[in-house]
Structure 1
Amino acid sequence: MRTRLLLALALVAAPASAQRPPAALAYTQLSDPAQEAQARALMETLRCLVCQGQSIADSDADMAGDMRALVRQRIAGGERPDQVRQWLIARYGDYVTFDPPIGGKTWPLWLAPLVLLGVGAVIARASFRRR
């Protein structure tokens, strides 16, 4: 009976313990306006890994809050925005940025729009010639 009671308490308490408060700087601006402007500009260029279509500045996901706090902590610690960006890319990969660098893994992202534009032009030209 006692074991069942403890198990029931653990099951009820598990969801409550899963809720954690947001990171300290997730929703708090830095006291230095210049540093906050740098952090904000950087956050606009970083993709939320949960939402995927939003920047971490716009997302309400817990992961985005943690990333905002990380950016602010590192900027407040004296790192430059490009250093923070490179650290995040090293940690999460090129996907974390809305502007991935051209490289072996990302060349299809950069080449696909040009190929599709070329195919569209060929189709349009063939269609106009038939008329």
Structure 2
Amino acid sequence: MDELLTLAKRLYARRQDGIVVPYKMVDETHREFECHQNAGTWARDNPGCRVVHGWMVFDHEKTSRGLVPLVNFNPHSVIETDGGERYDPTPSRASKRYPFLDHEGDPESFVRIVQGISLAILSYNPSADAYQVHLSVT
């Protein structure tokens, strides 16, 4: 089975487990849409902090009460402290914060999937058992 379809199906099965990670302004130079860089530099420069790679969950199937069979998973990175606190160091102009799912697997597999093909969004349609990839424009 295609690696991205397998990933999409696994994320879909876990979508209800996502938690909203609160935003915390820790560095005024952090920019929207640069979550991996923001989290990476913050963790590098702040002992006791580590990057957690994962996926923001946009569950259109849930919000449309099943009328739109589509869930989008956006790659995202947040911070976790040695004490277990999680926060999102990346500012956002979105109307709300969305649930975050940890990436299952090692950080290298996340980087390979996301950076390897410039993945911006992985969309999954459960009724068609199909996915679509939206790429980053750089």
Give the structure-2-normalised TM-score.
Answer: 0.21
**Larger relative strand fraction:** 2
Query: Which structure has more RCO (C-alpha within 8 Å, separation ≥ 6)?
Result: 2
Give the structure-1-normalised TM-score.
Answer: 0.22
